[in-house]
Amino acid sequence: MNLHKLILTANACYKAGEKITVKGIMVHSTGANNPWLKRYVGPDDGLLGKNIYNNHWNTYHPGGSEVCVHAFIGKLNDGTIATYQTLPWNHRGWHAGGSANDTHIGFEICEDGLTDKTYFDKVYKEAVELCAYLCKQYGLTEQNIICHNEGYKKGIASNHGDVMHWFPKHGKSMDTFRADVKALLSGGTSEPSTNPDTGTTIKTGDLVKITGIKYYGGQTIPTWVRNQNWYVQEVSGDRAVINKNESGTNAIMSPVRVSDLAPVSGSGATTYRVHTVAKGDTLWGIAVKYLGSGSRYKEIKTLNGLTSDTIFSGQKLKIPN
């Protein structure tokens, strides 16, 4: 999960300042063909990109302030997928048009034209990871997750179809969604993954060399495979899936260990470490711990695109090497 935080403090819902006891999560999708987060979240933090109409939901504009959700999932300006938290999780949101507002965290997945499977798979995965994270935070299970349409059928939300007009187009449903959250809650981890020996972080899309000689399952990796550079297709915990070489040739391969991968230099693969913020952490303290000097906290801010010194528990921070 690529979680960022930009609380919509100018939105009337935020200003209403009501709190809830979180009992569930409601999944929404926006109903408009606009996958860009900057449509809804602003102002630009350097990652979102500028909304030239300034009609994001952190405005005083009438109509733009009558609704608010706890988070959005969509595209950053560079096309990568991120989650933006836009309300404190226990703040009463205005998303359901019914009593679910009193009990449920609500988030929106930004819709595109609904036919792009690559985009769908990415935002679906991001949403699964967000829900697993929230379930852990609030002691919920996958059974506490519903979509807006299911909320309508239960009589706790207005008559909207989301997300059932979208998920089935790509072979998914709220049942597969809950099953995927359950799988994550029972031991799975989410990307990116860090090699404990080198401190190198491997993520989807990185170009890597295989330094080990065995697949994850124990079989020997052929020399020709080790002599080529490969793109990482998926990372989960200490395993990575690679299936395409530098020239675009596909090969079906067993997973490899993240610790057996090395980024190809100059390929743009990341060489930062990841620190998960714990309660009581400060940017200064993190800079002392990793970089040896508190004043280097500015490098951490820059790398993560932070506009303030505020960090929060559970946030994943990239640390320069």
Q: Which stretch binds Zn ion (CB under 5 A): 2-10, 25-33, 230-238, 263-271?
A: 25-33
Choose the binding region for Zn ion from 22-30, 120-128, 231-239, 264-272 (rule: CB under 5 A).
22-30
Contacts of 12 (CB under 8 A, 6+ apart): 65, 66, 68
Is there binding between residue 178 and Zn ion (CB under 5 A)? no
Tell me the C-alpha distance between 293 and 65, whole Å. 43
Residue 95 or 275: the one with the smaller Cβ distance to Zn ion is: 95
Q: In the complex with Zn ion, which residue's Cβ is closer, 133 or 166? A: 166
Which of these ranges, 155-163, 197-205, 235-243, 275-283, lies near Zn ion under the rule CB under 5 A? 155-163
For the beta sheet containing 145-147, the strands, ordered from the edge strand earlier in sequence to the opposite edge, are 3-5, 81-85, 71-75, 104-109, 24-29, 145-147
Which backbone phi and psi does 50 adopt, to 5 degrees?
A: -85, 130
In this chain, which stretch among 42-50, 141-149, 248-256, 282-290 interacts with Zn ion, using CB under 5 A?
A: 141-149
Q: Which is nearer to Zn ion, 160 or 296 (CB)?
A: 160
Q: Which of 148, 182, 203, 296 binds Zn ion (CB under 5 A)?
A: 148
Query: Residue 145 Cβ, how far from Zn ion at the closest point, in Å?
Result: 14
- Angstrom distances, CA of residue 248 to CA of 228, 230, 242, 245, 265: 11, 9, 12, 5, 19
Is the four-CA dihedral 160, 165, 168, 170 of positive or negative sign? negative
Say whether residue 104 binds Zn ion (CB under 5 A): no
Query: In the complex, what is the shortest distance from the CB of residue 17 to Zn ion, in angstroms, rounded to a whole number?
Result: 23
Residue with tokens 């709190």: 19
CA atoms within 13 A on the CB side of 186: 8
Does 162 bind Zn ion (CB under 5 A)? Our answer is yes
> Which residue in the set 160, 203, 275, 296 belongs to the binding site for Zn ion (CB under 5 A)?
160
Angle, vertex CA 165, rays to CA 163 and CA 168, nearest 5: 90
Residues in contact with Zn ion, total (CB under 5 A)?
A: 4
Q: How far is the CB of 160 from Zn ion (least distance, A)?
A: 5
Which of the ranges 36-44, 76-84, 147-155, 239-247 carries the binding residues for Zn ion, by CB under 5 A? Answer: 147-155
In this structure, what are the phi and psi dihedrals at residue 175, rounded to the nearest 5 degrees?
-70, -40
- The SS3 of residue 262 is strand
Task: Kindly state the smallest distance separating residue 32's Cβ from Zn ion, in Å.
Answer: 12
Q: Rounded to 5 degrees, what are φ and ψ at 296?
A: -80, 10
Q: Could you say whether residue 70 binds Zn ion (CB under 5 A)?
A: no
Considering the complex, state which of residue 163 and residue 242 has its C-beta at the smaller distance from Zn ion. 163
Q: How far is CA 55 from CA 50, 71, 151, in A?
A: 11, 17, 28
Q: Measured between alpha carbons, how far is 94 from 91 in angstroms, rounded to an integer?
A: 10
Part of the chain binding Zn ion (CB under 5 A), chosen from 123-131, 148-156, 205-213, 312-320: 148-156
DSSP 8-state secondary structure symbol assigned to residue 217: T
Residue 69 beta carbon to Zn ion: minimum distance, rounded to whole angstroms: 9
39 lines the binding site for Zn ion (CB under 5 A)? no
- Binding residue (CB under 5 A) for Zn ion from 4, 28, 75, 296: 28
Residue numbers at the binding site for Zn ion (CB under 5 A):
28, 148, 160, 162
